[in-house]
Structure formats: structure tokens, C-alpha cells
């Protein structure tokens, strides 16, 4: 399951993040993945701008109820502003399963792209996610995000004009298994939507199922 969050950032936050990026230094994105044959983008490389932008992006994700309900996050990598100029792309790849975050191993269960510039301001640059032999393509409005399983094969199509600016991060979920995570998300959503209309007895029984599946499936 893939989750789109249309209203992750306010217009003001988008403006601040774009202004930070406009003044900051960027380097070849292969810095974090030197052996990649398909990666061709630019990573923000500016300590101060990274501190400020990552904290804004992480705060925006963690305050958003849809994100928390969908991802069951136990941790997020420090979001990184990434830029694709004309001619750049990130060819088809799976995301690395393990990352080091502050000296600790971190498992990537979900990946997240936060769109920072207006989709009409650049040509190409859609995020394409393969689902078996079909696909989904995303080129979201500024301030929106898409969260998808890190297990998928995905790519960023070539930007042919303009600049694609995004925030990227990976999420470790308390429910590593995608199928279980999606089932509990669905159950919790339906219980939240329909619970008020249920008899007290049935609501209590549904709650027991929600809580006990959480106990069974969640890591700390």
C-alpha cells in the first residue's frame, strides 16, 4: 500500500525549505552510494541547512496523523534535501535494507519523498514505483509527500527541464511486515470511522482485536 499525504507541509514551510536549499551547497548524490550505477542526483551538503531542514521535515512527518497511522514509525532517518537538475535521474533500484544512523543499524521499511517545488516548474522527474507488472507514477504538489514500501523497485524518471527538489527519508516501522502493517492500518481506520456508530459491546470487542494484533505484531 502506498500513502499520499497532500498537506504535509504548509506553504510557509515549503518557502523556508526552498530558500534554505537555494543558498546551500550540493554534492553528487553518489556520496552515500558510491557503487550505484543508476544514481544521478545532488545531495544537500551543508551542515547548518541540513540541521534546520531535516528537523522541519521530520517534525512535519511526525505531527501528521495519517503518516503515524500508516507507517507505525519507530524511527526516521534525518530527511535530506535532494535535487535533480535537467538531465538527472535515479534509475530503477531497490532501497538498501540497512542503514547506519548515529552509529546504530536502522532497517528501512518505508521510503518517503516530500515534494518541494511546483510540479509545473519542471519536466519529467516522476517517481515511478513498480507493483508487479503494473506501476504508479507520482509527481506531487509542493508540500505533499508519498510514503511507499522500501521493498519496491522504483525510479525517478529523467528531469528534462527545470529542477526537481525533494526531501527524502527512510522509516523503520514497528511492524516490519508490509502485509501486517497494512492490515492493522485498515482495521484501525475502519474502527476509528465506524466505532462511534457501534454498540459499546462490539466496539470493545473490535478494540481488543486491534490491541492484541498490535501486541502480536509490533516491535518496540
Per-position b or e across 39-52, b if 16+ CB within 10 A of its CB: bbbbbbbbeebbee
Long-range contacts made by residues 56-61, C-beta under 8 angstroms, separation at least 24?
56/13, 56/16, 56/17, 57/9, 57/17, 57/114, 57/167, 57/169, 58/169, 60/8, 60/9, 60/13, 60/114, 61/8, 61/112, 61/145, 61/169
Which residue in the shown chain puts its C-beta closest to Fe ion?
Answer: 95
218 vs 212: CA distance, rounded Å: 10
Chain residues in the site for ligand AKG (CB under 6 A)? 82, 90, 95, 113, 127, 154, 156, 166, 168
Least separation in angstroms between CB 14 and Fe ion: 22
Least separation in angstroms between CB 218 and ligand AKG: 26
Least separation in angstroms between CB 168 and ligand AKG: 5
Which residue in the shown chain puts its C-beta closest to ligand AKG?
Answer: 113
Instruction: Take residue 117 and report the three cell numbers written for it.
Output: 517545488
**168, interface contact from Fe ion, ligand AKG, none, CB < 5-8 Å by kind:** ligand AKG
Q: Are 107 and 143 in contact (CB under 8 A)?
A: no
118 vs 74: CA distance, rounded Å: 31
* Nearer CB in complex with Fe ion: 71/184: 71
Ligand-binding annotation for 93, yes or no, is yes
Least separation in angstroms between CB 5 and ligand AKG: 14
Chain residues in the site for Fe ion (CB under 5 A)? 95
- Go through the chain and tell me how many residues it has: 220
How many CA atoms lie less than 13 Å away from 155 in the CB half-sphere? 17
Ligand-binding annotation for 154, yes or no, is yes
* Nearer CB in complex with Fe ion: 150/188: 150
The packing angle between helices 178-194 and 200-217, to 10°, is: 160
Least separation in angstroms between CB 2 and ligand AKG: 13
**127, interface contact from ligand AKG, Fe ion, none, CB < 5-8 Å by kind:** ligand AKG
Rg of the Cα trace of the chain?
18
* Nearer CB in complex with Fe ion: 112/142: 112
Known binding residues for Fe cation are 93, 95, 154
Known binding residues are 93, 95, 154, 164
Known binding residues for 2-oxoglutarate are 164
Amino acid at each position: 500500500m502506498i500513502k499520499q499525504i497532500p498537506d504535509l507541509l504548509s506553504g510557509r514551510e515549503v518557502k523556508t525549505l526552498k530558500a534554505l536549499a537555494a543558498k546551500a551547497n550540493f554534492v553528487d548524490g553518489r556520496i552515500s552510494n558510491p557503487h550505484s550505477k543508476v544514481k544521478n542526483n545532488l545531495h544537500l551538503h551543508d551542515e547548518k541547512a541540513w540541521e534546520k531542514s531535516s528537523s522541519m521535515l521530520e517534525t512535519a512527518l511526525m505531527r501528521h496523523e495519517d503518516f503515524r497511522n500508516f507507517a507505525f514509525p519507530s524511527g526516521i532517518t534525518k530527511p535530506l534535501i535532494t535535487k535533480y537538475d535537467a538531465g538527472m535521474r535515479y534509475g530503477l533500484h531497490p532501497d538498501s535494507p540497512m542503514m547506519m544512523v548515529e552509529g546504530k543499524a536502522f532497517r528501512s521499511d518505508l521510503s518517503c519523498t516530500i515534494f518541494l517545488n511546483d510540479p509545473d516548474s519542471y519536466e519529467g522527474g516522476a517517481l515511478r514505483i513498480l507493483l508487479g507488472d503494473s506501476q504508479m507514477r507520482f509527481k506531487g504538489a509542493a508540500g505533499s509527500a508519498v510514503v511507499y514500501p522500501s521493498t519496491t523497485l522504483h525510479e525517478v524518471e529523467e528531469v528534462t527541464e527545470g529542477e526537481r527538489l525533494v526531501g527524502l527519508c527512510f522509516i523503520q516501522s514497528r511492524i516490519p511486515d508490509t502485509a501486517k502493517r497494512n492490515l492493522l492500518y485498515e482495521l484501525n481506520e475502519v474502527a476509528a470511522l465506524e466505532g462511534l456508530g457501534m454498540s459499546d459491546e462490539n466496539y470493545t470487542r473490535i478494540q481488543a482485536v486491534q490491541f492484541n494484533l498490535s501486541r502480536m505484531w509490533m516491535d518496540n
